[in-house]
Amino acid sequence: MPAFQALAMWMAIDADRLRADFPVLKSSGTIYFDSACTTLKPRAVIEAEASYYNEMGACAGRSHHSLAKKTEEKFESSRERIARFAGAKKEQLVFTKNTTEALNLVVRSLDYSQRKKIITTPLEHHSLLLPIMEQQRRGVARMGMLGVLPDGSIDEGSLSIIDRNTALVAIHHTTNTTGMRAPLEKIVKAAHDAGALVLVDGAQGVPHSRTDFGKLGADFLAFSGHKMCGPTGIGCLLGRKEAFEKLDTFIVGGETIETVSLEKVVWKSAPKRFEAGIQNYAGAIGLAAACDYLSRVGMENIERHEHGMAGKLIEAIKSIPGSAIYGSPDPSRRSALVSFSLKGVAPHQVALMADSLAKIALRSGVFCAQVGMQALGAPKEGAVRASLYLYNTDEEVRTFAEAMQKIARL
Amino acid sequence: MLCFVALAVFLFLSIFSAKYRPLARRALDCVAKKATLRPCDTGLDEEIKAASLSGIMKASPGAAAFANRHFEAFSLFFTLIFFLSLFFAAQGLYNFVIYGNCNGFEGGFCIYSGIQNELLLKAPSSLQGVSAGNPNANITVIEFGCYTCPYTKAAEPDVLRLISEYGNRIYYVYKAFPLPTHPYSREAAIAALCADDEGKYWEYRAALFDRQQDVMQNGTAALQGIARSLNLTAFGSCYSSGKHNDQLQKSTDECTASGIYGTPTFFVNGKAFAGPGAVNDAGKEVKGLLGH
């Protein structure tokens, strides 16, 4: 056996062993193919989140008693571990409630007085598209669209619309509809060449591949804890210091200021400037535990596992007569996420029957990306989405394929 | 379409378990939307369809495909069946409340009566009536019947078999319960008592059931015709005298007091049997009591 093959096998994920870390898999017996919506949580994360309530329960950065200090230490060390996981510094990480809030923070707080355009794509999740559309509706900014090719990839020829009037290029890392990545390197370069900032929606990217915020070159990167084995209710906005300084205040309140009088407010610098009020300490601690968990498994291993699963998933779907896959069928261009339809069976029906027949959890509809699904040629009722993660196995894909074969014969 | 059925089913189940209440609310929402010609967007119909097809698919994929292709037709069919059932159940309940039997005046088998038989029917206190068998027997069979009732007529062969089979081991008593909905039922009961006066009750009774349609259509003329054929000489004066009116009224009062709602109704040693199979059930009871 060649040495590289042996190394790959050694490094491969043992999904069967990992599954024992996820209590829900054992208690529900579900084949969970809905990780793009939210992932399951390993026991380590659940325990870490509970540890805040069991061992601390206080607020950070305000009081000076021992429980408060312990909370502060845990909260800030969590910030550091999460930032490190994403290749950033702790000062670059703002805690938010989720990706949606992080994206809103940037789109709604940026100054558009000098540059009016926000460039995005039709493939974006509503969390990004709607704040931009709202800015346009209010007359604050104008929205411009990059082109999308029939295979779901970005038309790089359309990058030329990024010009000196562009304030922000807001784009996905990986879409939640096709699992395909945007050509971020080229987009970041085009944006920076034009003097525009870049906001990356990393909700479907950060959980599935190694992220290095520094190397990415983007000005902002948003992601959620719950899509990467972390708790719900916690998200992050990574930002470069100079980029944060271009943002106005968003939600203001306790701990966002240095001093305040009725005449003048002196705001803190990021990240505290954007973290108003008591924070989700338990969520931050849980997310840090999730980052540690994923690091122990190895993000490269997860990415490799997902590519392998994507190939099997696509082959399984392609073998069903009358099936259609949205986006490129090339697994090397995807995470383990496939949106598809079966001829003659409504997407909701497919998902409901998969659950009834084989306890397979799928998502159906337009996946909070109605415009994107239309751009991909999906019908009004959308499609079915199977999205896998580190805990999914070949056996589950086989069961999925059998169930889909049966449903397709309806 | 299935939302209508689901609403009724889940509302009923909600009485017993709170877990069905959210489903009942969703079904209600769906029904309200359908009733106002809006699309049902609760997803409940899709869930019902998926659950149904999955269940069928586990048994037969081919049948599931067929059910899927014609699901709307099946839904419509079951919804219609549901509404028809609902209508007939309500009609039966109305009849039961008003007439004491879900079939109304006609009487006959009634599902609600099964409960009532046990709870409400009381054995008559007297053994007065036309009788057969041994008055000292340990087993008493009382029949409340109506000579112009088709169900009483239908039971008659089994009644006669019961009497002939068990002979002196039982005591059979017939109490007339002339139902007002059956034409000439009262007149027929009086005529039978007049025939009894001349010792030809059983012959007259057999003729009454044989010529039930004639009696129901022609009344007194038919009754007199039967009397002539049996050579009943005092029938005319008896029939017109009203001499058996009190006896018949007493029998009718006993029926009312016993809670009888339809004929025939049997009591075997006080245990009530009503409905189309009542005579057979009564026969089984007799057999059981005799240790056969």
Average pLDDT value for residue range B58-75: 90
* Secondary element (H or E) of residue B188: helix B185-197
Residues 6+ away with beta carbon under 8 Å from B290: B139, B166, B169
Helices (H), A138-183: none
User: B118 or A142: which carries more pLDDT confidence?
Assistant: A142
The nearest CA of chain A is from the CA of B87 a distance in Å of 33
CA angle B2, A322, A176 (to 5 degrees): 80
Amino acid B59 reads A
Pairing of strands A220-224, A235-239: antiparallel
Query: What fold is seen in the domain A46-296?
Result: Aspartate Aminotransferase; domain 2 (3.40.640)
Model confidence pLDDT, tens digit, residues A261-316: 999 999 999 999 999 999 999 999 999 999 999 999 999 999 999 999 999 999 99
Quick one: A3-32+298-408 is in which CATH superfamily? Aspartate Aminotransferase, domain 1 (3.90.1150.10)
Average pLDDT value for residue range B5-12: 88
Q: What is the pLDDT of residue B199?
A: 93
Q: Does A406 contact B57 at a Cβ distance shorter than 8 Å?
A: yes
What's this model's pTM, rounded to 2 decimal places?
A: 0.75
Chain B residues touching residue A345 (CB < 8 angstroms): 68
Question: How far, in Å, CA of A144 to CA of A122, rounded?
Answer: 10
Residue spans per domain, chain B: 2-99, 119-289
Pick from B4, B3, B6, B24: nearest CA to B15: B24
Query: Could you give the ipTM of this predicted complex?
Result: 0.75
Q: Using an 8 Å Cβ cutoff, are B286 and B170 in contact?
A: yes
The least confident of A135-139, A193-197, B47-51, B187-191 is B47-51
Question: How far, in Å, CA of A204 to CA of A171, rounded?
Answer: 12
Helix (H, G, I), strand (E, B) or coil at A197: strand
Interface test with A, best of B53, B58, B69, B70 (most A CBs within 10 A): B53
The least confident of B198-202, B218-222, B288-292 is B288-292
Q: What is the pLDDT of residue B105?
A: 61
Tokens of B58: 């586990």
Q: Using an 8 Å Cβ cutoff, are B277 and B151 in contact?
A: no
A-B contacts (CB, under 8 Å): 34
Among chain A residues, the shortest Cα distance to B60 is held by A406
Helix (H, G, I), strand (E, B) or coil at A120: strand
Q: How many CA atoms lie within 13 A of A204 on its CB side?
A: 29
Q: Does B65 contact A409 at a Cβ distance shorter than 8 Å?
A: yes
Tokens of A314: 């696509």
Cis peptide before A23 (omega within 30 of 0): no
Pick from B221, B231, B161: nearest CA to B195: B231
Q: What is the pLDDT of residue A9?
A: 45
Among candidates A348, A353, A409 on the partner chain, residue whose Cβ is nearest the Cβ of B54: A353
pLDDT band at B107 (very low <50, low <70, confident <90, very high): low
CA-based R_g, chain B, Å: 27
Q: What is the pLDDT of residue A6?
A: 44
The nearest CA of chain A is from the CA of B35 a distance in Å of 23
Q: Using an 8 Å Cβ cutoff, are A107 and A246 in contact?
A: no
Instruction: Evaluate if residue B128 carries a pLDDT over 90.
Output: no
Q: What is the pLDDT of residue B92?
A: 87
Instruction: Evaluate if residue B108 carries a pLDDT over 70.
Output: no
Write the class of the CATH domain B119-289: alpha beta
Instruction: Evaluate if residue B113 carries a pLDDT over 90.
Output: no
Blockwise average pLDDT, block size 10, chain A, 410 residues: 46 82 94 98 98 96 93 97 98 98 98 97 98 98 97 96 98 97 97 98 97 97 98 98 97 94 96 97 98 97 94 94 92 92 93 95 97 94 97 96 93
Buried b (16+ CB within 10 A) or exposed e, A284-309: bbbbbbbbbbbeebbbebbbbbbbbb
Q: What is the pLDDT of residue B137?
A: 92
Q: Distance between the two ends of chain B, CA-based, in angstroms?
A: 54
Residues 6+ away with beta carbon under 8 Å from A237: A93, A94, A96, A102, A105, A106, A220, A221, A222, A274
Residue spans per domain, chain A: 3-32+298-408, 46-296
Tokens of A44: 């380590």
Q: Does A352 contact B47 at a Cβ distance shorter than 8 Å?
A: yes
Q: What is the pLDDT of residue B231?
A: 93
Chain B residues touching residue A355 (CB < 8 angstroms): 50
* Secondary element (H or E) of residue A342: strand A337-342
CA-based R_g, chain A, Å: 22
For residue A52, what is the DSSP state?
Answer: I
pLDDT band at B119 (very low <50, low <70, confident <90, very high): low
Residues of A with a Cβ under 8 Å from any B Cβ are 345-346, 348-349, 352-353, 355-357, 406, 409-410
Question: How far, in Å, CA of A184 to CA of A181, rounded?
Answer: 8
Chain A residues touching residue B64 (CB < 8 angstroms): 410
Q: Is B274 exposed, middle or buried (0-12, 13-18, 19+ CB in 10 A)?
A: buried
Helices (H), A165-318: 184-193, 213-216, 241-244, 281-297, 299-318
Model confidence pLDDT, tens digit, residues B138-179: 999 999 999 999 989 999 999 999 999 998 999 999 999 998
